[in-house]
Amino acid sequence: MGIRHNDFAGENFASKQWRNQTVSIQVGEFELPESHPEYYRYNGTPIVQIDDKNLGTFSPDTPKLPIGSSFEANLRPEGSSVVLKLNPDSIQLPEPVLPGAEAVQSSELDRINGVERCFQDW
């Protein structure tokens, strides 16, 4: 991931502070003001964060975890990028939310359950 234009742009990831350190990482949603020239390209895309600070976007040619995921990783600088070596056992995915699932009222569920009982008795 590119690291030139983010909250860690001045950070030296080759320093002792980062070397061989495991960090907790979250996948957040990149938020840009509508006036930003790259708004339509990047706004709403997944972004890698450390302590709610933006580290960078995923490289276009790499797999991406969904927004709301978290994991632990070691960071390795590579030119103007940082390579994440993540611990696969640490990956936590967000709970899926089905569209409209929260809109179903309990009376609607009672009606559906009643219809199911009618078919079972039939």
Q: How many domains does the chain have?
A: 1
Residue 105 near residue 43, CB atoms below 8 Å: no
pLDDT digits (tens, 9 = 90+) for 20-74: 889 999 999 988 889 988 889 888 989 999 999 999 888 888 888 999 999 999 9
Does residue 2 sit within a domain? no
Does residue 4 sit within a domain? no
Does residue 51 sit within a domain? yes
Does residue 35 sit within a domain? yes
Does residue 55 sit within a domain? yes
Tokens of 88: 């696969």
- Per the structure, the complete domain to which residue 26 belongs is given by 22-97
Does residue 17 sit within a domain? no
Does residue 3 sit within a domain? no
The per-residue pLDDT for 71 is 95
State which amino acid sits at residue 105.
Q
DSSP string, 57-101: EPPTTS--PPTT-EEEEEEEEETTEEEEEE-GGG-BPPPP--TTG
Tell me: pLDDT of 122 over 50: no
